[in-house]
Amino acid sequence: MNQRRFTVDTIAKLHAAGERFTMVTAYDFTSARIVDRSEVELILVGDSLGMVMQGHDSTLPVTVDDMIYHTRMVMRGAHRPLVVTDLPFGSYTIEDDAIRAATRVMAEGGSQAVKLEGGAQIAPTIRRLVDAGIPVMAHVGFTPQSVHAIGMRTQGRQADQARRVLEDALAVQDAGAWAVVLELIPAPLAAAITERLEIPTIGIGAGPDCSGQVQVWHDLLGLYDEFVPRHAHRLRTFADDAVAALDQYAGDVREGAFPTAENSSTMDAGELARALGDGSGDSDGDHPDGDARDGETLDGETLDGHA
């Protein structure tokens, strides 16, 4: 396994060599550490944290400060994957705001690239960021930050819609994006876009022919049961395992099966007796520290109760 940090350049080389790659979301130190031990090449600190970490029903309430906070945790745990951070809703509507938000995410959070949602309409902002030296991953098709405008459904089924998705992908490439996420578009359309682009495509609900794939950590591992999207690749059911473990823990405590001697430490009985002051640790009843009488210290000075 490659132990060096993946970069935009190394991902481009994988793509040029025809090698597929993977990206997964991570939101904290522990998840990043686990990804770091795997063969996954990229981490996305996604604004999906608003749903799976903060409990919101969409990504819209997430702030730039939230993204910086979670990116910092991820960067402490991830030393091998390339880390990309979402710019949240409302943070890049104006180009100057986009520059400020992206700069903060990279300077304060430590991310290696940012991701923006949108196509041709956001291309000028992507160009501005790239010109400022900020690597940009684009995102077209279904864009979760626009859920109230476009609905939560597959995009590009009709010819005019499909053409618009293709034009969006070409526009963000021309603006300087180094990769583009294709979300919830028909598999044949994703294949056609991938074939026409020079930059890698990263699919989620876009079929098998993209250059790479991305999955949400909680979907992949079965940690989030509120909503399981059709495109989720659920490989484990860790939430069920966690509930079973918690139930066993509660039962073990109630039945006295936990903790045991193996889970506990001990101490000398005499030390405990002296700590409790019951004198049971001294068979002759003498003061444990010598023969000083009440009101007198060992060096003979009288204690009068004052400091």
115 marked as binding residue: yes
Radius of gyration of the chain, Cα coordinates, nearest whole angstrom:
29
47 marked as binding residue: yes
48 marked as binding residue: yes
219 marked as binding residue: no
- Specify burial of residue 70 (Cβ count, 10 A radius: 0-12, 13-18, 19+): buried
271 labelled catalytic: no
**What is the phi/psi pair of residue 42, to 5°?**
-130, 145
CB burial of 200-236 (b: ≥16 within 10 Å; e: otherwise) equals bbbbbbbbebbbbbbbbbbbbbbbbeeeeeebbeeee
Q: How far apart are CA 78 and CA 37, in angstroms?
A: 9
Q: How far apart are CA 129 and CA 177, in angstroms?
A: 9
How distant, in Å, are the alpha carbons of 127, 168, 176 from that of 133?
Answer: 10, 22, 11
279: left (phi over 0), alpha (psi -120 to 50) or beta: left
**What is the phi/psi pair of residue 179, to 5°?**
-160, 165
The strand pairing partners of 180, in sequence order, are 138, 201
Q: What is the DSSP letter of 107?
A: I
Asked if the bond preceding 124 is cis, omega within 30° of 0, the reply is no
**Catalytic residue selected from 108, 167, 183, 271:** 183
Query: Could you tell me the maximum CA-CA distance found in the chain, to the nearest angstrom?
Result: 101
For 152-167, the three-class secondary structure string (H helix, E strand, C coil) is CCCCCCCHHHHHHHHH
Best CA proximity match to 52, nearest among 226, 277, 236, 187: 226
Best CA proximity match to 15, nearest among 233, 195, 214: 195
Annotated active-site positions, please?
183
What residues form the annotated binding site for Mg(2+)? 47, 86, 117
What residues form the annotated binding site for 3-methyl-2-oxobutanoate? 47-48, 86, 115
What residues form the annotated binding site? 47-48, 86, 115, 117
